[in-house]
Amino acid sequence: MAILKIARMGHPVLIRRADPVPDPTAPEIRRLVADMLETMEDAGGVGLAAPQVHVPLRLFVFRVPAGRADGGEAVGNTAIINPVLEAMEDVVALGWEGCLSIPGLRGVVPRAVRIRYRGLDAAGEPMTGEAAGFQARVMQHEQDHLNGVLYPMRMTDFTRFGFDEELARASREEESQP
Ligand code: NI
């Protein structure tokens, strides 16, 4: 396994549409998934799409840590190949997002609250399911990477976009107001 280099915003691989994985059971795809999981964990992220490691193919990995499942269930390291996502209803929620390709920043992004997904798992077997809340947000964020879309391109309120450190300081100061 290996830790892969993560492309940062500005690199053209992040704004092109990725191609379908032609052979999901190929050994190089298995290796890519293992390396992406290791890279995601090393970077402390909750999702990573193949274009972020300079591979323009339609697959991503993600996880939902117990502390961030917001009422839903924690999800261990998961890979999905050639994923298709659809919103189950028109309800959209705003939530903070960051991205390993846009280090140091975060912003508030509207996302569908409930989605249905299908694709292939790391063994090439069909997988399908529904997701809500944080998991739905992470999956939509990663799916966007496969279409060359970065989260700032989804934002509608740029007053809620900034550097992590500043936002954390501002919320600390707000909390300490009498
Ligand atoms: Ni991202």
- What is the rounded CA–CA span in Å between residue 75 and residue 96? 19
Phi, psi (rounded to 5 degrees) for 24: -65, -20
Q: What is the pLDDT of residue 72?
A: 74
Residues 6+ apart with CB under 8 A from 81: 21, 24, 29, 58, 59, 119, 120, 121, 122, 124
Q: Is 101 exposed, middle or buried (0-12, 13-18, 19+ CB in 10 A)?
A: buried
- CA of 177 from ligand 1 middle (Å) equals 34
Paired residues of 95 in beta bridges: 109
Q: Does the pLDDT of residue 178 top 70, yes or no?
A: no
pLDDT 10s digits, 70-91: 777 899 999 999 999 999 999 9
Confidence of residue 135 (pLDDT cuts 50, 70, 90): very high
Whether the full predicted model's pTM is greater than 0.85, yes or no, is: yes
Q: What is the pLDDT of residue 67?
A: 84
- CA of 28 from ligand 1 middle (Å) equals 23
41 given a catalytic annotation: no
- CA of 145 from ligand 1 middle (Å) equals 7
Catalytic residue among 125, 142, 165, 174: 142
Average pLDDT over residues 95-107: 97
Q: Which range, of 8-22, 56-70, 137-151, averages the lowest pLDDT?
A: 56-70
- CA of 165 from ligand 1 middle (Å) equals 19
- CA of 174 from ligand 1 middle (Å) equals 28
